[in-house]
Structure 1
């Protein structure tokens, strides 16, 4: 009878240990979002919320699905690989407005919108703005690189995350139910808003939205210097 009852006793114990481990893991994930972390993030990104609210009217036509941020969210620690394969984060683009696009070659809408993103980078890309398209294809980067070459992408740099870590992290913020997902980020690494799904990113509507965000960002920087 002892041998028969022991396994029954271990079940709840193992479940309790697993639950404790899960809670500990969640605590580890959300530790930065504790009381102090929330206040610091809200303070650092409060300006982005104001800009998000002010450009909401520009989200129309081809970018009508753009959702302005409604809470302070720093994205500066999102990590991925640079074109040379080295590790980097969105914080490396500090001072620039960034359109962060998550995509994969197995995502048909992603493939369709990539030429428009390339044209957007050619049109607006400079020291104040960059389109950062991050491939989340797993395995070798050869496949996504070959695809970009085949469609004639000339202005976009190749960023990647074969671990899909960036996708899962953005998804935990409620911003990536699938691919493609695109986030507009200010020069402090704070979310201005997001669009889930494809869009014509080189359309007049998209250009107007992005330019509005950039103008608000420049105005904020000028105010900060005073």
Structure 2
């Protein structure tokens, strides 16, 4: 069954209880015209591949006109100690922000789990970061109840990651997903949910890897 598409505004929706509200922003993404320059110039070929592969169940993935360094994110790893996004350089990353109060986020988690099971390894990983700041035992318990077994548990109870990614991606809500290449450069942004483990999703990741 396809994952329910949706996008939840990040500011105050938990209090309002509008977990199912779908809000899609226009953003800065779309097209990859112009001369590539700067620290992410080497990522330019991947942008063309992403544009071509973003279709069907992952048609919402948008490549930027020019790639730029991913935001400097710090969050807690599976062992509870702090880690950084920069420490994960060297492989393709699908960085997904989710929360237990975000219905579209929870709807796509099984597909992200399957994607990690099928393609996760030395060249690629799904980094799903929980952004709940209350009831901090709830996210890990929800993952267990939902049968999510292949995704390591990353979390940002301090609330630093969400605003940083929102600024970077020009995104106002959840779920938001960044596709980051091995050089640490953003080569795609998805605003809303997707069926990540579908044939379209797998083809997108292979294209990003240049396969």
Which category describes the TM-score, using the shorter chain as reference length?
0.7 to 0.9
Q: Which residue of 2 aligns with 1:211?
A: 206
Equivalent of 2:106, from 95, 111, 129? 111
Are 1:186 and 2:181 matched, yes or no?
Answer: yes
Contact 2:175 2:192 in 1 (8 A): yes
Aligned equivalents of 1:144, 1:127: Cα separation in 2:
26
Residue deviations 1:166-206 (CA, integer Å, cap 9, x gap): 11011112343200001110011100111000000001001
**Aligned-residue offset at 1:76:** 5.6
Residue deviations 1:101-159 (CA, integer Å, cap 9, x gap): 00000000001000000000000000111000000001353100000000111100000
Residue deviations 1:71-105 (CA, integer Å, cap 9, x gap): 33211622211111111111111111000000000
The structure with the larger Rg is 1
Is the helix fraction higher in 1 or 2?
1
Contact 1:95 1:188 in 2 (8 A): yes
Does the residue aligned with 2:79 lie in a helix, a strand or coil? coil
Q: Which residue of 2 aligns with 1:14?
A: none
5+ residue gaps, structure 1, are: 1-41, 217-226
Does 1 or 2 have the higher relative contact order (CA < 8 Å, sep 6+)?
Answer: 2
5+ residue gaps, structure 2, are: 1-36
Contact 1:132 1:156 in 2 (8 A): yes
**Aligned-residue offset at 1:53:** 2.1
Query: 4+ runs of 1 displaced by more than 6 Å?
Result: none
The CA RMSD measured in Å over matched residues stands at 1.6
Equivalent of 2:166, from 168, 171, 180? 171
TM-score, normalization: structure 1? 0.74
Does the residue aligned with 1:55 lie in a helix, a strand or coil? helix
**Aligned-residue offset at 1:49:** 3.0
Contact 2:86 2:184 in 1 (8 A): yes
Contact 2:169 2:189 in 1 (8 A): no
Equivalences for 1:51-130 in 2 at 5 Å?
51-75=46-70, 77-130=72-125
Q: Which residue of 1 aligns with 2:20?
A: none
Aligned equivalents of 1:147, 1:81: Cα separation in 2:
17
TM-score, normalization: structure 2? 0.79
**Aligned-residue offset at 1:54:** 2.9
Q: How many residues align?
A: 176
Aligned equivalents of 2:155, 2:164: Cα separation in 1:
15
Aligned equivalents of 1:94, 1:68: Cα separation in 2:
19
Aligned equivalents of 2:170, 2:178: Cα separation in 1:
8
